[in-house]
Structure 1
Amino acid sequence: MEKKVINKPKERPIYLIGDSDHIDLPEFNVFDLACRIDTGAATSALHCHNVELHTINGKPAISFMLLDPEHPSYQNKKYYSFEFFEKVIKNSFGQTEKRYSIKTTVVLFGKKFKTEITLADREKMKFPLLLGRKLLRRGFLVDVRQKDLSYRLKYQNFINLP
């Protein structure tokens, strides 16, 4: 009798994350950016301004500036992306709006995750970055009683965080 081989699903780590944390965006040279974890949001959203469409060497591109001049990580720099698309998003007030979405790398718990982030006006929000379900479903378990778990892990050998 022949034995059946059952393929087990690849085990992936599960990261416990709190209701807020700090994240790295290495492609934009932004590190320890405060973010809110939002299981109610499908997509992640990053605060930016001066969003413009361009054609560069015959290819469509988008430019934008991250954060506000008052933010400590503001670089007064225009960023460009060729990997973007427009999508309709329902905001927290239930209204639909068109936003541009880019693909970029984020770093949490020392691991790199390629993800989609919409470019949004979050000027009046406490956190310039919102992390949504499309990223969280890649192995994150949310405990709203916690915060800064990735940030603490990153610096645990350097400083004592409360």
Structure 2
Amino acid sequence: METPAAALEVIGWREWLALPALGIAAIKAKVDTGARSSSLHVNGLEEFLRDGQTWLRFSIASGRKSQRIETACEALALDRRAVTDSSGHIAERWFIRTDLVLAGQRWSTEINLTDRRTMLFPMLLGRSAIQARFCVDPARSYVCGRLRKPLTP
């Protein structure tokens, strides 16, 4: 049974969120109900084996352009899948599962890793990550404010 929209917390079309297991206390995300999966811009993506499992090593740039911080990250590879972008191009992308914090809620979600350097937002938050949790008001922005305190992994 679906949760009625009136019972869901409202978020805007863009929000600040955190990825605590990756060491990211605050990152801007575009909320996109037209996208099934969430995407995160990463630099230097490389795969490696650890204990017989595929892991991914990458970095995430966060902060203002004048104060960019590169955070080195490692995550267990969940899967590699074909993703169709907004232009209709299909590409294979790595997926990870990690915790996400938004509007005081913390949950585990799948995120694909890609190059979003030409996009305005380093992260796209897709509908599978927010379904049954939030209702999106496209006329509002940053409803939840910016996360201020560091979160524990």
TM-score by length of 2: 0.84
Structure having the higher strand fraction is 2
- For 2:103 and 2:63, the matched residues in 1 are separated by 28
What is the letter of the counterpart of residue 75 of structure 1?
E
1:82 aligns with 2:70: no
Of 96, 106, 110, the residue aligned with 1:102 is: 96
- For 1:142 and 1:69, the matched residues in 2 are separated by 24
Shift of residue 57 of structure 1? Answer: 2.7
The higher relative CO (CA closer than 8 Å, separation ≥ 6) is in 2
1:121 aligns with 2:115: yes
Alignment of 1:1-162 (within 5 A): 14-67=8-61, 71=65, 72=67, 74-77=69-72, 79-151=73-145
- For 1:110 and 1:10, the matched residues in 2 are separated by 21
Shift of residue 66 of structure 1? Answer: 1.3
8 Å Cα contact 2:23/2:71 also seen in 1: no
- For 2:107 and 2:143, the matched residues in 1 are separated by 17
**Count, aligned residues:** 145
Shift of residue 123 of structure 1? Answer: 0.2
- For 2:25 and 2:19, the matched residues in 1 are separated by 6
8 Å Cα contact 1:62/1:84 also seen in 2: no
What is the letter of the counterpart of residue 95 of structure 1?
H
Unaligned runs of 5+ in 1: 1-8, 156-162
Unaligned runs of 5+ in 2: 149-153
TM-score by length of 1: 0.80
User: Identity rate of aligned residues, in percent?
Assistant: 27
How large is the RMSD of aligned CA atoms in angstroms?
Answer: 2.4
1:135 match: secondary structure = helix
